[in-house]
């Protein structure tokens, strides 16, 4: 498909989702550091469980990189228990915190000033941080123009014939980043709207009839 046509279709998709749902106000979190922790903890669980963990840490005044880094791993794992896979996630959080201290001296401002082309590979080098988590951190916590791809994105685009079912994470990400302007608010809102659509309508067993894309044809 020609790039110009793909760009038009993505813009049309965005507008239809915006008209249906309005702004989503993502990502949940009162600070960039909270967003980063949420991005790591939300792997393989639902957001309500993560929110419970973050609320508990916040209530105890523990939502601080140095405090969590100095906390014994077993104690951190105990506090992360509602998020599931808590021992694995405690190690992943520790891995990120070590990276954060070593490279950016616990400074989100310093981290946000790093070039995207350098920072993304560095994040992917942290054990336990994959592309979706890295891009969530970059886009939502650090306001870097990279598109987050998840299962909802893949499902919506493949079902509407905008991407093949076997496309990779990078191929699907490029679909957005090549055909849309590098705009952080646009990327944030578009991803959030796709998540909303995926949760409510484009489920594994889709609810097509009431879906805002039901009459939207992408062929031809």
For residue 107, the tally of other CB atoms under 10 A from its CB is 13
Buried b (16+ CB within 10 A) or exposed e, 119-154: bbeebeebeebebbbbbbbbbbbbebbbbbbbebbb
Q: Hey, what CATH topology would domain 32-141 get?
A: Endonuclease III; domain 1 (1.10.340)
Q: Where are the domains of the chain?
A: 3-25+149-200, 32-141
Predicted confidence (pLDDT) per residue in 23-60, tens digit: 998 887 889 999 999 999 999 999 999 999 999 999 99
pLDDT digits (tens, 9 = 90+) for 57-116: 999 999 999 999 999 999 999 999 999 999 999 999 999 999 999 999 999 999 999 999
Q: How far apart are the two ends of the chain, measured CA to CA in Å?
A: 10
- State if pTM tops 0.85: yes
């Amino acid at each position: 498909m020609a790039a110009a046509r793909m760009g038009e279709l993505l813009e049309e998709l965005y507008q239809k989702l915006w008209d249906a749902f309005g702004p989503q106000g993502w990502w949940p979190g009162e600070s960039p550091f909270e967003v980063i922790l949420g991005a790591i903890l939300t792997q393989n669980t639902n957001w309500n469980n993560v929110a419970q963990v973050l609320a508990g840490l916040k209530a105890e005044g523990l939502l601080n990189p140095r405090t969590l880094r100095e906390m014994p791993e077993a104690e951190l794992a105990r506090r992360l228990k509602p998020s599931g896979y808590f021992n694995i996630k405690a190690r992943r959080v520790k891995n990120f915190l070590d990276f954060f201290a070593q490279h950016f001296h616990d400074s989100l401002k310093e981290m946000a000033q790093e070039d995207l082309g350098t920072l993304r590979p560095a994040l992917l080098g942290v054990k336990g941080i994959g592309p979706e988590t890295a891009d969530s951190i970059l886009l939502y916590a650090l306001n870097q123009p990279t598109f987050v791809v998840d299962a909802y994105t893949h499902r919506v685009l493949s079902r509407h014939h905008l991407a093949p079912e076997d496309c990779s994470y990078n191929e699907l990400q490029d679909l957005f980043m090549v055909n849309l302007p590098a705009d952080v608010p646009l990327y944030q809102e578009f991803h959030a709207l796709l998540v909303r659509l995926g949760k409510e309508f484009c489920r594994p067993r889709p609810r097509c009839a009431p879906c805002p894309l039901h009459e939207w044809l992408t062929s031809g």
